Amino acid sequence: MRQVIAPQWKLGEQDIAAIQCDPKSRDDIPQLLRGLQYIYVTPEVREQLFAILADVIPDGVHGKADAHTGRPGMDQWAMLVLGTLRLGPNIDSDRVQELANEHKTLRQMLGHAGWAEDERDRYQLQTLKDNLRLFTPELLDRINQVVVAAGHALGKKSPDAALAVRADSFVVRTDVHYPTDINLLWDAMRKVIEIIAGLCADMGVTEWRQSAYQLRQFKKLFRQVQRLKYSTAKDPEKRAAKQEAVRQAHRDYLAAAEVLLARVRETLWMLLVGQVPAAFLEPVELYLVHAERQIDQIRRRVLLGQIIPHNEKVFSLFQPHTEWISKGKAGVPVELGLRVAVVEDQYRFILHHQVMQKTTDDQVAAPLLTETRARYPRITSASFDKSFHSPNNQTELAAMIPQVVMPKKGKLSLVQVEREHDPAFIHLRHQHSAVESAINALEVHGLDRCLDHGIDGFKRYVALAVVARNIQRVGALLRQQKAEARERQRGSYRRAA
Q: Under DSSP, is residue 174 helix (H, G, I), strand (E, B) or coil?
A: strand
Q: What is the pLDDT of residues 418-432, one digit of tens each?
A: 888 888 889 888 999
Mean pLDDT (whole number) for 468-480? 93
Q: Give the tens place of pLDDT for each residue, 357-388.
A: 999 999 999 999 999 999 999 999 999 999 99
Instruction: Please give the pLDDT value at position 62.
Output: 59
pLDDT exceeds cutoff 80 at 71:
no
Nearest-Å Rg of the Cα atoms of the chain is 28
> What pTM was estimated for this model as a whole?
0.91
Q: Between 185 and 328, name the one with better pLDDT.
A: 185
CA distance 326 to 311: 15
**For the chain, what is the mean pLDDT?**
89
- Return the percentage of the chain with pLDDT > 90, whole number: 65
SS3 of residue 72 by DSSP: coil
The pLDDT score that the predictor gives to residue 495 is 61
Q: Which is nearest to 41 in space by CA: 8, 78, 15?
A: 15
* Average pLDDT rounded to a whole number, residues 256-279: 90
Q: How far apart are CA 345 and CA 431, in angstroms?
A: 11
Q: What is the pLDDT of residue 262?
A: 96
Whole-number pLDDT of residue 321? 95
Task: Check if the beta carbon of residue 397 is closer than 8 Å to that of residue 382.
Answer: yes
Would you state the pLDDT for residue 482?
Answer: 86
What is the model's pLDDT at position 9? 66
* Residue 491 binned pLDDT confidence (cut-offs 50, 70, 90): confident
**pLDDT at site 152:** 94
